[in-house]
Amino acid sequence: MSTTALWVTVLAACALGFVTKYLGYLAPESLLDGPRRSRVIGLLPVALLAGLLVTQTVGGDDGIVLDARLAAVALAVVLMWLRANFIVVIFGAAVLAAALRAVGWAA
C-alpha cells in the first residue's frame, strides 16, 4: 500500500468516526429510552473490550496462539479478582510476560 493510499484510508476512518459520533448526538432520546436498551447500551463497551482482549491475547496469524500473553492475562484476572491495585496488576502481568519470554516461552 502506498503512503498516499494509507493516509487517505486513515483520514477516511477519522471522518467516519467523526460522523458516527455526531450522528449519536443527533439520535432522539426516545430511540435510546427504555430499560432493555439502557442495559444493552451499558454492556456493549464491555462486550467489545472483552472481544478485543481475547483476539489480542490468543489471536495469531494462523489461528490460536498460546504464549506468554495468555499467562499474563490470567495473572491479571486473578489479581483483579483479589482486588489488587491496578498498577500492581499491570506490573505483575508485565513482569510475568517478560519472565516467560526470557525463559523462551513465546510465540
- Give burial (CB, 10 Å; 0-12/13-18/19+) of 68: buried
Q: What is the pLDDT of residues 77-87, one digit of tens each?
A: 999 999 999 99
What predicted TM-score, i.e. pTM, was given to this entire model? 0.64
Q: What is the pLDDT of residues 34-74, one digit of tens each?
A: 889 889 989 999 999 999 999 998 887 888 888 899 999 99
Is the pLDDT score of 107 beyond 60? Answer: no
Residue 33 has what pLDDT? 86
Question: What Å distances lie between residue 102 and 68, 98, 106, CA to CA?
Answer: 10, 6, 9
Task: Answer yes or no: are the C-beta atoms of 53 and 73 closer than 8 Å.
Answer: yes
Residue 91 has what pLDDT? 97
For the chain, the structural domain boundaries read: 1-33, 35-107
Residue 20 has what pLDDT? 95
| Phi, psi of 66, rounded to the nearest 5 degrees | -105, 110
Task: Answer yes or no: are the C-beta atoms of 53 and 44 closer than 8 Å.
Answer: no
